[in-house]
Structures are given as structure tokens and as C-alpha cells.
Amino acid sequence: MAAHATTGPVTHEHEAAHPPTSMGLPHIKLGFWTFLGSDCLFFGSLIATYMAYRGHSLTGPFSHTSWTAPDGHVVPHILNVPVTSISAFVLLVSSFAMVMALNGFQTNNRGRARLWLFLTAIFGLTFLGFQSYEFTEFYLNGLSLQQNLFGSCFFVLTGFHGTHVAFGVLWLLTLFVADLRKPIPPSKAVNVETCGLYWHFVDIVWIVIFAFVYLIPVTEKGGF
Amino acid sequence: MATAAPLPQVEPAYSGSGVWSWLTTVDHKRIGILYGVTAFSFFLVGGLEALAIRAQLMRPEQHFVIGAAFNGLFTMHATTMIFLAIMPLGAAFFNYMIPLMIGARDVAFPRLNAFSYWVFLSGALLMNSFFVVGAFDAAPGWLSQIPNTGWFGYAPLTERQFSPNLAVDYWMIGLQILGVSSLAAGFNFIVTILNMRAPGMTMMRLPVFVWMTLVVQFLVVFAFPMITVGLILLTFDRFFGTNFYISGNGGDPLLWQHLFWLFGHPEVYILILPAMGIVSEVLPTFARKPLFGAPFVIFSGIVIGLLGFGVWSHHMFTTGLGPVADSAFAVTTMLIAIPTAVKIFNWIATLWGGQIVLKSPMYFALGFVALFIIGGLSGVMHASPPVDLHHQDSYFVVAHIHYVLFGGSIFGLFAGIYYWFPKMSGRMLDDGLGKLHFWLMFLAMNVTFFPMHFLGVDGMPRRIFTYYSSDGWDTWNLVASLGAFALGASMLIFLFNFFRALRSGAPAGNDPWDAATLEWATTSPPPLHDFDKIPVVTSSRPFWDAKYGGHGAPKAKQEAVGGHAAADHVVLPNPTIWPLVTALGILIFWTSFMLPDGPVFVVTGFGVLVLLFGLFSWLFEPLE
Amino acid sequence: MQRRASARTASILLGIALASLCFGCSWVLGDTPMSTVHPTTPEGRLIQSIYAEITWIVLAIFIVVEGLLLYAILRFRQKPGDAGVPDQVHGNTVLEVGWTIIPVLIVMAIAVPTLRGTCALQQPPAADALTVNVNGKQWWWEFEYPDYGIVTADELHLPTGRVANLMLRSDNVIHSFWVPRLMGKRDLVPSRGQRLWFTPEQPGWYVGQCAEMCGASHAFMGIRVKVDTPEEFAAWIESQKAPAKTAMTDPGFMAFMQAGCIACHAINFAGSPARQRVGPNLTHIGSHATLAAARFEMTPENLARWLRNPPAEKPGSLMPNLNLKDEQIAMLVSYLQNLK
């Protein structure tokens, strides 16, 4: 792929008007990696908050142990690892779909590009569907944002991740519609690649969240 | 510098001067001017807030402004100076000078650059709108909603329970918006500096100002997320009933302090490194020899940036973190003194053996070094936890921060203003008035802030709106207040000089200071496209080398910097209104939080719509 | 010749600056009530010794570095007749190494006493320490002696020769307890108890203040500590444990109830309905030297002024303006003054 500051037609005049980049990377890619670095610290702070408050909830429902509510009924542990594993898998598959979509754009294969881009968005929406179901279940079982520290940390952390996914789905569908109106040529595939970077990042963040929140059990002391 | 080669055809050729041309500009020079004018205006606002504080504290037991209103003054003074004055003054120079210094024609993302400015402006206006809203309040009036929990906003004082009205919300939401602006600019300048250097300009040939800017932008993109999260958690506490910082439901106020200072400490390096970069340009120019140990100065800047992430809990020595944490942070804090000292010695060595030309920019640069030494040394004193058990929250710290931020950042930024004013306006500031400004400001600054060391040693706590005569603090408070008013007066000298020079200052020419870096190789002010020819660089002092041969002998005829083929056809980005519209959407979205009960969600939704409309229009409009 | 002239000028200027500094310092390091350099406890003196060491080092650095700067500016000014450019020296690695190593050594010199002091000041106090619970409120201090069952406010009494172990707590916002002549400060953070300990040696009154911004009347959250001899302290304890010299039938107490004071304040006597801890305990208020967290000296006039309109005296005061009539105020003042 030619290393141009922009992705316009490669003419001599254009090259003279737009010098090659110092690092050989397109601006958008370099800039986006910087953004992802920053976003790592954003999620890192949210995860650190979660870790700081593990075991500090004064009341239930709890993540990995059961809790007896004041009215006497028992709320089992609220996290459902098997179900969430499925949604995590869906997100992983969506990353594969993204790779296929990017390949389609890079090789100017319209069918592959559009199909896999659309599938990526569908998988993303499926993940969001699982999240909505999960949040609703938790809420009906007494875990609200305000109920305890686990509720606050959990919903803020996974909520912001979900928002990132939703924004990613919007981005995917925008690219899809844009391609329908005017096909994105291989010389502009870097725009799709950037979306792919974002999508893979969001997926990796979910793996980390899944590990820290769902898989690592919390020993209760009367909290969390 | 244009030579006999034909001038390139520049497209678009507009250079409008109406309001619309400023609202739609994507030109880094104009955006730099927008930042500069806005920032300096807020600098004056912050200064007035300081004068009100000093008027109240001039004598014991005054009732000029007390209680929550006084708390609001020091909160807004600090917040304004840090976020609305020093940072954007730095941004003004980043915007204007970085592309010129690296031989580029603009920044990597010109429209994102404009977006950063408009978001900054909207955050600044929202944060200050309490003046207007408070005027309609039933009770105290125009200061009734002033943010008043300190610029550091410690929980749980900032929680709804202890701060029920909107004051904290102006600060919290305003700051969140400002964070978006800084982050966007951070991404932009990192890519610009790494990816848009002129041919031959390796990283080690970058001017030190550019290097310091690069370190600052990395600090921004890695530190701001922490305060973003901290503010999000506070927003959830205040609006959605969570208990992240309230101990009643298991939360811990110290979580706020950790998140805030993880941001807050890198923030102070964000505030000082640009000034250090400016001084690293001004000192060699006026000593007429290279910056001594430039690679070491650069490397020290990088080390300061890195270490800056490891010292945050020295703001928490009195919160009982325990001897291990206290000791660790004491050591890392003391370690930061080392690269700082290395810089200072290199600056002095730059002067050594030079031919020092004492013009106004040099005065301010030298003043920076002299005053920053004092500020740095007082900081070393309270790097020690036992000593900090007295210094923390006393006027000793107030003295320290003003020596490093006023004596340091502000003097450094003024050095930049005096140095680069000719380049930006094509005219010279009056040197005599500049020196008068310097001396009055330098003396007044010391009269104001040096006695605060004494007040701290005498036990005066910070953030109190009055004191008793029996406390024994009368004399130094009076002296400090008189100094502060003199400091305010010195600004008038500068403003007079500035406006008069704009109207009728002597023509500057391209290179009034006989400098070494690329911005002086083009006209004053530069043309829209910055350079007729993109230079080819073979050293860290490309323009100096074009003027002087070996052993400093001036060349008979100044060479062009490099011999890159002239571009016949320069294509610049189109002006566009969409970054402003997107910024407006963000403002509307966040303002909806502040509305009293009613159709709040309608406004929130409207904000999102405006944001998306602006964003999509922006994305689908061709850049050029 | 020119070098000597510059050196002389630089030294003169520096000498003037230094002399002003010393004069200023000696003039100013005077006897303010909250001075941080007149410690009266072993712990305070430990801090002082570290402070002094660091100050001398810092002063020496200041003289050397500012002196070099000043000398360089004066000596290497451009003079008429200077032609061309000076030697374009780029750097010197030996110097760089040197002036990196020297700061490292200086940092080590400062770090060693710092680390020793940090650890020494945070060792747990002796087992026979006197424990006092210090509860920070907006904007006053409650002092509770759990060993003696005493709850009082605003004035902290401590005996000489015994470690005072202050347990710092807050159920509202963050405060900071600072009585400089006794010890450094420590924050009161809701969600965690902290301790601050020191050994008073000199009897007398000590002045302190809250040192963490805590709201509208942060400036008026004063502390008064009375260090007593052990005998005086024992007597004070006894007097504090005694119930108030009053009864339900006391007209003063009836005025107290009528004004609504028992909603927030406690007065201890058998059968007392005044038991709340929202505001300070008033059982022995008449014997206090100050009022409203050292806002005022305790005099009848000041007490009347306070009762007339508390928020006017302390912005944001949680004690409201009760709109008391003058006769009520006079009654209450004389009643409270007699609760010694």
C-alpha cells in the first residue's frame, strides 16, 4: 500500500502537493493507534476502580456468591458465566468477520467486502443484544446502578464498553452505506482498516473485562 | 524563504477576513491566533479573580468576599489559569509554530484542529456561565453558582449531599468538555510531529520546543483518560445516585484523589514543558550559540514526562497511605529533580561563552530560569513527607506553585510572545516597554509570592478567606496583596505595547532575531501555505546553516534552506463549518445535564443529533 | 578585567539578595501561634531536624546555581565591538555526566533522613497512649475520650509526658487536623480512620486550624489545645465527667428547650432530654476559653452575638438563625456561662 499522507489519486502533481509521511504510515493509522493507547488508559482506570472496590459492597446481590435479601429471599450469584461466554464468543467471531471484510476491500472484492462488513455489524448487534438481556436480568434480580458498589462498577464499566461497541456498529454501518453509494477503492481501504483496529480493540477490552469481572471469583467478606 | 523560483499556485486562494472566515478556518495559524486571544483573555479573567482574593486577604477579618463565594474565587482562579490560560497559550504556540518549525504546511488533521478549538471555547464558556445564570438566582446573586470546591474538587465535598446546587456541575462538566479538546489536539500533534517532518529532519534534529511539545502531547493522551474516568464517576454520583466516592455505601473518597492526581501530576508537567521548550529556543538565539547539550535537554524532558506518572501520591502524604507508599513516592519525586537540574545546567551553559543580546524575549527567558530554580527548590523541600506534614495545604505550597507556574510557565510563555510576535504579526513590539513590563512583573512577582514562603512557615493554611490579627500573618499578607496589584499593573504595560505594535509597530522582516529554526526562513507573517518550498534539512539548525558557514562566518549570500523541488501547485484544506457544528452538539448534549427538571432528554437528544449531523457532514466532505 | 567586574557585580547582587533573605527569615521566623518551626514535641523536633537539613542544602544550591546564572548573564553580555558569532559549542559529555551525578548525590543526602523520618513518624504509638477520638464536623471539632466517657468540643486537653494518640474520623467531608507547634497535620477522611500521635512536653495553649478545604467556613474551623500538667489534666477529667450543674426545672434549661437547642445539643445530667450529638456537647461550655471552633473568645458579648445569628458569623453554618428574642438570648447566655 502506497504511503501517502492522504489517499487521493497518485499523480505526480498530487505527490508534490502532498509529501510522503515521515514514518511511512498514513496519518489516520498513526493517529488512531495513539487514540487506542489513550483508550487503554480509559478502560484501565475503570477496571482499576472495579478491582479497588472488589469485596467492598456492603450489600448484595453479589457477583459470585449468593445473598439473602432483607425480605428473606435468596439471590444466587448474579453473573452467568456460560451465557456471557457465548456473547464473548460472538464478539470474537465478529473480529474474524472484520478481518474478512477488510480483505474484501483491499482486494476490491465487493461481495466479500459488503457481506462480511454487514456480518460484523450483525455480530456486534448480537453482542449488544446479549448485554441488554443480561442487564435487564440483573436489574430484575435487584442489582441496580445504585444498589451497591458492584452494581455501580459493573454497569459503568460494561456500559461504557457497550457504548464503544455501539459506536463501532454505527461506524461499520456507515461504511457499509457509504460503500453502497460509492464503492470504497483499495487505495482508501485504510479507512476500513482503521475501523477494524477499533473493532479489534473493543473485542480485546471485552476479553480483559470478561477475565477480571466474570472469571476471577471474588471471595466475600460481607461485600462484593 | 522565497527565491527566484516561481511562486506556487495555492488553492484555495482565499484569505477572507470576515467572521465567517474565522468560524470556518482550518488554517493552523488562524487557529493558533484564536487560541492565543481566547487564552489571554481568560488569563486576565483569572488575574482579576486573583486580585479579588488578594484584596480580601490584604487585611485581617475583612468581609469583602467570604465563605462559599471566596472558595469560588480560588477555585475559578486556579481552574481558569490552568485550563483556560496556560494550556491554551501553549496550544496557541503549538498550533502556529510546530508546522513551521518542522517544515510542514499544516497539522495532520486540520479540521480536527479546528474542532479542538471550538470544543475548548464551548467548555470555557460553559464553565464560566455561572456568572450569567447566578444573576437570575434568588439568593446571593452572580456568585451564587460559582464552582467552589477547589480546582482539585475533592470528594465528598463535591457530592450532591455537600454541594447541592449546580456549582460543582459547571466545573465538572466544563472540565469534561475541555478534556475532549485536549485529547483531540494531542492525537493531532503527535501525528503531525512524527509524520510530517520535512525531508532530512530526523527526530534528533527537531527543535527542542517541538520535542517538548511531543512529550506534552503524550502526557495529555495518557493522563487525561484518568480524569475523564474520575469525572464520569463523579457525574454518576451526582446525577445517578451511585456511591463511588461516598463512604456510606462502601465507597472511598481517596479513589477520587488517586484518579485526580494520576492526571493532576502529569498535568503540571504539561504546564511547564512548553515553557521549557520556548526557553530552549530563546536562550540559544539570544546567546548566539547552540543550545548546550540539546540531546540531553531532550532526553531530560522525556524522563520528566515518564517519571511524572510515578509521583502522584506526593499530593497525598497527609492522607495516611502508610510509610511504604509515602517513601516510594518521596523517592520518585526527588528523582524528578535530577533531569530538571540537568536542563537548568544546560541552559546556563548555553549562556556561557556566548554573546548575550539582552532584548525583551531574552529577559523573560532568563527570568524564567531564575524563578523556576526557586520554585523547583521549594518543591524539593516538600518532596520529603515529614516536611510536607507542615507544608501541605499551607501557603508554602502556594508560593511553590506560583514560582513554577507564574515564574515558570507564564514567564516562559511571555518569552514566546515577545519572541514570536514579530513572526505572527510582521511587526515589532517596543523593546523598551517590553523591558519595563519585565522588570515590573519580575519584581512584583517576587514581592507577591516570596513572602508566601514565610506565611507557610508561620502556619497559614491555604484556602481561608480571612485570618485574625493574633495569627501574626498581617504584614506578609499586606505585602503580597500590594505585589499582586503591581503584577496586575504590569499587564497593562504589555497590553498597551501589544495593541500599539499591532497598529504601528516597526516592520519585523523575516528574521529580526537572527535565529536558527525554520519558522524564521519564511515571511512575517507566513503566507497561507507557510513555505513556498518545503525545505530539505541537514542539521538541527537549518536556517542558521543557511546564513552562516563553518566557524560562524556569515555567508556572502544567504542560501535557500535545502533544495527540494518547488511545488507548482499547493492544495490546502477547504474551510468548513462542520467542526464548529460538531462542537456545538457536544455543548448542547452536556448542557442538558445542567437543566432543571423538564424536557431534559429532548435537549440531550437534540445535542446528539447536532453532534451526529456535524460529524457526518464533516466526514463526508472532502478535505480539499 | 571584565570577568572580575562581572564576578563582583554578581556577588554584590547575590549578597544583597541573601542578606535580605536572612534578614527577612530571621524577622519572620518569629513567634506566630501557628509557627511550624517552634516544635514542642519530640515528633515535631524530628520533622524540624529534617526540615533544617534540607533547607541548608537547598540554600546552598540556590546560591551556587543562581550565582552561576547571574555571573553568566553579566559576563557574557554582547559588547559593542563584538564581531561575528561566539564559539558554536554544542555540548560536553563530561560536564553532562558531572552535573547529573551531583544532583543524584544531593538527592541521596536528602532521601536518607527523609525515609528514616517517614518511617519513624508512622510507627504505632506506645500502648499506654491516651486515645482521643477527633471527629471533624462542618465546621467544628468534637473530642471524645473513650477511656473516660467524655465528649466535648473545640478544646482538646492533653497531659504532658504521655503520648496523645488522636484517632481522626469524619462522617462528612475531608478535614485536616493541624496544630503546628505540636505536630504536622493529618487528614480526616470519611471511610477510613487515621491516627496522629505526638508527646506534648510544654504546658500551655496551642493554636491550630483545619487544613483541608471543607466548605464555606473552612477558615473558621479553629482548634485549641490545652496541654496540662498531669495533675491539671486529672482534675480536668474529673470536672468533665461530672454532670452539668442544672436540672430540668432550671429556668435556664427551660429556655434552652424552648429555643429548640436540644434538637442538636447535649447537656449531661440525670434524666436530661438533651442528648443529641449533631452539635457540640454543651455540658461544660461555660469553662471553655473559645466558642464556635475558636471563632470567638468566650465572653458574654460574643456568645450573644453568636446566638443572635450564627450563619452571619460563620458562613454556611449548620446552626440556623433561630430568630431569638433579646430576652431569650440574655437568658441563654447567663445559663450557658454557668455551665462550667
- Quick check: is A1 in a domain? no
Active-site choice (B25, B79, B116, B182): B182
pLDDT of residue A101: 97
Query: Which element (helix H / strand E) includes C133?
Result: strand C130-136
- Quick check: is A10 in a domain? no
What proportion of chain B, given as a percentage, has pLDDT over 70?
93
- A193 or B546: which carries more pLDDT confidence? A193
Which residue of chain C is at minimal alpha-carbon distance from B284? C88
What proportion of chain A, given as a percentage, has pLDDT over 90?
75
Residues of B in contact with A37 (CB under 8 A): 221-222
pLDDT of residue B100: 95
Provide the pairing of β-strand B569-571 with B9-11: parallel
Active-site choice (B117, B118, B151, B171): B151
Q: Look at the block and give the residue holding cell 498535568.
A: B267
Burial class (CB in 10 A: 0-12, 13-18, 19+), C150: buried
Q: Is the same domain home to B362 and B346?
A: no
B444 with B490: CB under 8 angstroms? yes
Q: Does the beta-carbon distance from C194 to B369 stay under 8 Å?
A: no
Predicted-complex ipTM score:
0.94
Q: Is the same domain home to B295 and B225?
A: yes
Q: Is the same domain home to B222 and B301?
A: yes
- Of the pLDDT bands very low, low, confident and very high (cuts 50, 70, 90), residue B15 is low
Q: Does the beta-carbon distance from C107 to B335 stay under 8 Å?
A: yes
Q: What is the pLDDT along chain C (340 residues), one digit of tens a residue?
A: 566 677 777 777 777 777 666 665 655 566 899 999 999 999 999 999 999 999 999 999 999 999 999 999 999 999 888 888 898 999 999 999 999 999 999 999 999 999 999 999 998 888 889 999 999 999 999 999 999 999 999 899 999 999 999 999 999 999 999 999 999 999 999 989 899 999 999 999 999 999 999 999 999 999 999 999 999 999 999 999 999 989 899 999 999 999 999 999 999 999 999 999 999 999 999 999 999 999 999 999 999 999 999 999 999 999 999 999 999 999 999 999 999 8
**Does B462 qualify as catalytic in the annotation?**
yes
∠ at Cα B385 (B382, B389), nearest 5°? Answer: 80
Q: Is the same domain home to B219 and B234?
A: yes
What tens digit of pLDDT does each residue of B78-110 get? 999 999 999 999 999 999 999 999 999 999 999
B109 interfacial to chain A (CB closer than 8 Å): yes
Which residue of chain A is at minimal alpha-carbon distance from B248? A58
**Closest partner CB to A22 (pick from B195, B242, B249):** B195
pLDDT of residue B562: 56
B10 with B4: CB under 8 angstroms? no
A120 with A168: CB under 8 angstroms? no
Q: Span B386-392, mean pLDDT?
A: 97
- For residue B312, whether the previous peptide bond is cis, meaning omega lies within 30 degrees of 0, is no
Domain count, chain A: 1
What tens digit of pLDDT does each residue of B422-446 get? 999 999 999 999 999 999 999 999 9
C277 with C266: CB under 8 angstroms? yes
- Of the pLDDT bands very low, low, confident and very high (cuts 50, 70, 90), residue A7 is very low
What tens digit of pLDDT does each residue of B191-210 get? 999 999 999 999 999 999 99
Residues B425 and A8: their CA atoms lie apart, in Å, by 34
Q: In B, residues 100-139, which contact C (CB 8 Å cutoff)?
A: none
Q: Does the beta-carbon distance from A156 to B242 stay under 8 Å?
A: yes
Q: Does the beta-carbon distance from B186 to A23 stay under 8 Å?
A: no
What proportion of chain A, given as a percentage, has pLDDT over 70?
89
Residues C41 and C197: their CA atoms lie apart, in Å, by 10
Q: Closest Cα partner for A167 from A23, A37, A60, A39?
A: A39
- Quick check: is B431 in a domain? yes
Q: In B, residues 444-503, which contact C (CB 8 Å cutoff)?
A: 451, 454, 456-467, 470-473, 476
Q: Is the same domain home to B383 and B501?
A: yes
Q: Span A101-110, mean pLDDT?
A: 96
A200 with A193: CB under 8 angstroms? no
Active-site choice (B96, B269, B418, B476): B269
DSSP annotation string for C142-205: EEEETTTTEEEESEEEEETTS-EEEEEEESSS-EEEE-TTT---EEEBTTB-EEEEE---S-EE
What tens digit of pLDDT does each residue of B237-288 get? 999 999 999 998 889 999 999 999 999 999 999 999 999 999 999 999 999 9
Enclosing domain of residue B424: 356-480+497-508
When the pLDDT of each residue in chain A is averaged and rounded to a whole number, the result is 89
pLDDT of residue C84: 82
- Quick check: is A222 in a domain? no
**Closest partner CB to C35 (pick from B290, B335, B459):** B459
What tens digit of pLDDT does each residue of B280-332 get? 999 999 999 999 999 999 999 999 999 999 999 999 999 999 999 999 999 99
Provide the pairing of β-strand C141-145 with C130-136: antiparallel
Q: Is the same domain home to B338 and B382?
A: no
Which residue of chain A is at minimal alpha-carbon distance from B260? A45
**Does B265 qualify as catalytic in the annotation?**
yes
∠ at Cα C73 (C71, C76), nearest 5°? Answer: 95
- Of the pLDDT bands very low, low, confident and very high (cuts 50, 70, 90), residue A223 is very low
- Of the pLDDT bands very low, low, confident and very high (cuts 50, 70, 90), residue B42 is very high
Q: Span B453-462, mean pLDDT?
A: 96
B334 interfacial to chain C (CB closer than 8 Å): yes
**CATH code for the domain in which residue A76 is found:** 1.20.120.80
- Grid coordinates belonging to B471: 495569627
> From start to end of B230-368, where are the E strands?
none
- Quick check: is A221 in a domain? no
Whether the per-residue pLDDT at B1 is higher than 70: the answer is no
Burial class (CB in 10 A: 0-12, 13-18, 19+), A105: buried
- A224 or C88: which carries more pLDDT confidence? C88
B-C CB pairs within 8 A amount to: 292
Domain count, chain B: 2
pLDDT of residue A5: 39
Q: Is the same domain home to B419 and B473?
A: yes
B99 interfacial to chain A (CB closer than 8 Å): no
Q: How far is C305 from chain B (nearest CA, A)?
A: 16
Which residue of chain A is at minimal alpha-carbon distance from B184? A35
Q: Span B552-562, mean pLDDT?
A: 67
Residues of B in contact with A53 (CB under 8 A): 250-252, 255
Whether the per-residue pLDDT at B588 is higher than 70: the answer is yes
Active-site choice (B27, B237, B267, B281): B267
Q: Span B154-182, mean pLDDT?
A: 95
- Grid coordinates belonging to B524: 512575517
pLDDT of residue A14: 42
Q: Does the beta-carbon distance from B461 to C47 stay under 8 Å?
A: no
**Closest partner CB to B250 (pick from A27, A146, A149):** A149
Which residue of chain C is at minimal alpha-carbon distance from B331? C111
**Among the ranges given (B9-23, B46-60, B347-361), the one the predictor scored with the smallest mean pLDDT:** B9-23
Residues of B in contact with C112 (CB under 8 A): none
- Quick check: is B456 in a domain? yes
Q: In B, residues 220-249, which contact A (CB 8 Å cutoff)?
A: 221-222, 224-226, 228-230, 232-233, 236, 240-244, 249
- Quick check: is A97 in a domain? yes
Q: Is the same domain home to B319 and B418?
A: no
Q: Does the beta-carbon distance from B236 to A46 stay under 8 Å?
A: no
Q: Does the beta-carbon distance from C122 to B322 stay under 8 Å?
A: yes
Q: Closest Cα partner for C164 from C210, C235, C233, C231?
A: C233
- Quick check: is A194 in a domain? yes
- What is the greatest pairwise CA distance in chain C? 100
**Among the ranges given (B167-181, B597-611, C221-235), the one the predictor scored with the smallest mean pLDDT:** B597-611
The three-class DSSP label of residue B10 is: strand
Enclosing domain of residue A191: 25-215
- Quick check: is A8 in a domain? no
Q: Span B529-546, mean pLDDT?
A: 88
pLDDT of residue A6: 38
Which residue of chain B is at minimal alpha-carbon distance from C27? B454
Residues A174 and A112: their CA atoms lie apart, in Å, by 17
Residues of A in contact with B616 (CB under 8 A): 174
C149 with C138: CB under 8 angstroms? no
C182 with C225: CB under 8 angstroms? yes
Residues B10 and B569: their CA atoms lie apart, in Å, by 6
- Of the pLDDT bands very low, low, confident and very high (cuts 50, 70, 90), residue B10 is low
Q: Span B173-197, mean pLDDT?
A: 97
Q: Is the same domain home to B350 and B241?
A: yes
**B198: DSSP letter:** P
Q: Does the beta-carbon distance from A6 to B186 stay under 8 Å?
A: no
Q: Does the beta-carbon distance from B191 to A58 stay under 8 Å?
A: no
| Other C-beta atoms lying within 10 Å of the C-beta of residue B318 | 26
Whether the per-residue pLDDT at A15 is higher than 80: the answer is no
- Quick check: is B362 in a domain? yes
Residues B289 and B514: their CA atoms lie apart, in Å, by 11
- Of the pLDDT bands very low, low, confident and very high (cuts 50, 70, 90), residue A10 is very low
pLDDT of residue B107: 95
- Quick check: is A124 in a domain? yes
Q: Span B363-375, mean pLDDT?
A: 97
- Quick check: is B365 in a domain? yes
- Quick check: is B594 in a domain? no
Query: Can you give the pTM of this predicted structure?
Result: 0.94
- Of the pLDDT bands very low, low, confident and very high (cuts 50, 70, 90), residue B6 is low
Residue of B113, B195, B571 to mutate for A, most A C-beta atoms under 10 A: B195
Q: Is the same domain home to B223 and B339?
A: yes
Which residue of chain A is at minimal alpha-carbon distance from B220? A38
Q: Is the same domain home to B367 and B466?
A: yes
- For residue B622, whether the previous peptide bond is cis, meaning omega lies within 30 degrees of 0, is no
Identify the chains in contact with B, defined as 3+ C-beta pairs within 8 A: A, C
